Structure 1
């Protein structure tokens, strides 16, 4: 009696197991939350932000190259003004892509070749005088890029007529200006080609969250850019937050001054917030964090709402520093420091709260004393 009962029981259990397996395999798998699809987020960044942004910047860089070539070929006041206008347009467009310092841009140290300021005017003059220089040397970092062009197009003499005469009289000045732009075009071409080649697919398929993942690298670049190059570089250092003494000569576009330094800063800040929010209905940092349910532990408010609110407050403070940042850094230094403080509140939200919610480890060290 025992054997038939045991055999029947075994058959029953086997049948239940088979039925269960068939039911599981034939049913639809659980649908993941599309807002938590990291590959979709990376694809959105690559195809709708990085590549189009680089294309627009490349177009502006081509115009800059053409206008500076026309100026060095025939230096006149008119050709100087056109070269300067092309420089301003490209510089503003640069603010929209500088935060993409990951992947190919990081590999070639794109920012070092394009926008380390204040520029080294004595070093530039020495290079022009000797006719000997190497833009790959660490000492040459502040002797190239947009800040060097600021000096070359706006600061080598007291007025436009004198600047033109300097280029008419000096072949070395003409050569240096040409070489600075050529180096920018050459370096950016390497980055642009990789994004239009194999790197795009490598980027969107690297979907993890470890330090080598695309998400980690992009988020670290984003956080570093806001903290060091926007908050500190464009506001904190010229305002003297770290030293206690205002240094207005350290503003971006120092030699042209006027409204451009603030335009560069506000364009950069707007770009940071737009990158965060993305486009309605498409994957973005905001939609990803919302899908994670990221909230402030103290208030229960959505982290994205808090951060967007802080971005808005910081931008208002920044925009109020106009129209000319140079006198503001001294005459209204308290306002500049207040702007820095509001931006610092956003830094904490990005660097601590946001990275924690994303499961991303901060891999850079900022040592400006805050």
Structure 2
């Protein structure tokens, strides 16, 4: 009798030990499908998305630095157009990497240095006049990056001839433009170099699902970017969805206007969907969720199918706001609100259903008031 009881107890301890090992293995997300390999997914993101994306952006930044240097050395209509084109090209490329606000980018607050808009034109002018400024202080966030370059290359005067003359006459303007680009180059360089050295291995080896894991940081950055910086920042805030009053002056690339603001938004949206789906036959959020059998909480259908359907609808609605986003928000703002609403439908799928399926806790708080 005693031998039987001891044997039963031994079996119980063995079962508990096996369960504990499986739970801590780092391969079985959310206690579900043991065939899903998180490390393979992280490796795919690092080597096929983040590092190549950063390399392409680094190339565009190098051209931007060269062209703005040429403009400040010899301000002419031709060098202004070259600098402006390099800014537009780099700005579009930025949309493909801005969502990578985790790891080194999060550590240096890369987005704060690159793309918080609208630009603080009054603060920029004050900085130029005084010649004293510090890009690391909180008040300087909207006085730098791509929005500041938008003002400096397109908004300091009326018309290209007047802008050129402003730079010919003002050493302060030439210095400030140079310093803004130099700060962008230095800050991004820090992030880029870390990914090309030790951080890549740190990232892929941190394969758990806790709040400090790479997967959690990526998913939170992804969800936050879509919800706050794409849905709200690029469309909702200018359309006045939080206040009831349209504010078209809050669009991205406000001083240039034209087709660029919508190009930035549609590029960002396409990047979000591309990141979700990845490349056929390679690990991705889609393949991960499919392996887990993730379902839409309302319909019970495949979550990835529902997400992609909604992405398609929101992409189409966003594209309909063209060609000039400023004019659309001014003349037919209801269409911009409709675009925001379609993206909002995808927020629930990403922020609630996807994170639940992945066993990820949402660690950020959205405070846009909607």
TM-score (norm 1): 0.91
Distance in structure 2 (CA, Å) of the matches to 1:256 and 1:107: 31
Whether the 8 Å contact between 1:240 and 1:246 is mirrored in structure 2 is: yes
1:70: Cα distance to partner?
0.2
Distance in structure 2 (CA, Å) of the matches to 1:209 and 1:106: 18
Whether the 8 Å contact between 2:102 and 2:217 is mirrored in structure 1 is: yes
Is 1:186 equivalent to 2:186 in the alignment?
A: yes
Distance in structure 2 (CA, Å) of the matches to 1:190 and 1:203: 16
Whether the 8 Å contact between 1:35 and 1:288 is mirrored in structure 2 is: no
Match of 2:23 in 1: none
- Listed as ranges, the matches of 1:271-310 within 5 Å are 271-310=271-310
Whether the 8 Å contact between 1:35 and 1:287 is mirrored in structure 2 is: no
Is 1:144 equivalent to 2:144 in the alignment?
A: yes
Whether the 8 Å contact between 2:297 and 2:353 is mirrored in structure 1 is: no
1:299: Cα distance to partner?
2.7
Match of 1:335 in 2: 335
Whether the 8 Å contact between 1:64 and 1:90 is mirrored in structure 2 is: yes
Distance in structure 2 (CA, Å) of the matches to 1:55 and 1:232: 28
Match of 1:231 in 2: 231
Is 1:161 equivalent to 2:161 in the alignment?
A: yes
Q: Which string of whole-angstrom CA distances, capped at 9 and with x for unpartnered residues, describes residues 22-55 of structure 1?
A: xxxxxxxxx9878610000000000000000000
Match of 2:65 in 1: 65
Is 1:174 equivalent to 2:174 in the alignment?
A: yes
1:300: Cα distance to partner?
2.5
Whether the 8 Å contact between 2:80 and 2:164 is mirrored in structure 1 is: yes
Distance 1:73 1:258, change over 3 A: same
Is 1:44 equivalent to 2:61 in the alignment?
A: no
- Listed as ranges, the matches of 1:354-369 within 5 Å are 354-369=354-369
Larger radius of gyration: 1
* Structure 1 unaligned regions, length at least 5: 1-12, 18-30
CA RMSD of aligned residues (A): 1.6
Distance 1:35 1:338, change over 3 A: farther
Match of 1:20 in 2: none
- Listed as ranges, the matches of 1:205-284 within 5 Å are 205-284=205-284
Distance in structure 2 (CA, Å) of the matches to 1:335 and 1:305: 25
Is 1:100 equivalent to 2:100 in the alignment?
A: yes
Distance in structure 1 (CA, Å) of the matches to 2:97 and 2:183: 18
- Listed as ranges, the matches of 1:125-136 within 5 Å are 125-136=125-136
Whether the 8 Å contact between 1:118 and 1:142 is mirrored in structure 2 is: yes
- Secondary structure (helix, strand or coil) at the match of 1:36 reads coil
Match of 1:74 in 2: 74
Distance 1:177 1:35, change over 3 A: farther
Distance in structure 2 (CA, Å) of the matches to 1:260 and 1:187: 25
Q: Which string of whole-angstrom CA distances, capped at 9 and with x for unpartnered residues, describes residues 12-31 of structure 1?
A: x9xxx9xxxxxxxxxxxxx9
Q: What is the number of residues matched between the two proteins?
A: 344
Q: Which string of whole-angstrom CA distances, capped at 9 and with x for unpartnered residues, describes residues 197-228 of structure 1?
A: 10000000000000000000000000000000
1:301: Cα distance to partner?
1.1
Distance in structure 1 (CA, Å) of the matches to 2:343 and 2:42: 26
Whether the 8 Å contact between 1:242 and 1:369 is mirrored in structure 2 is: yes
- Worse-superposed segment, 292-301 or 316-325: 292-301
Q: Which string of whole-angstrom CA distances, capped at 9 and with x for unpartnered residues, describes residues 327-369 of structure 1?
A: 1112111100011000000001000000000000000000111
TM-score (norm 2): 0.91
Q: Which string of whole-angstrom CA distances, capped at 9 and with x for unpartnered residues, describes residues 166-212 of structure 1?
A: 00000010000000000000000000000001000000000000000
Whether the 8 Å contact between 1:128 and 1:176 is mirrored in structure 2 is: yes
Distance in structure 2 (CA, Å) of the matches to 1:299 and 1:154: 48
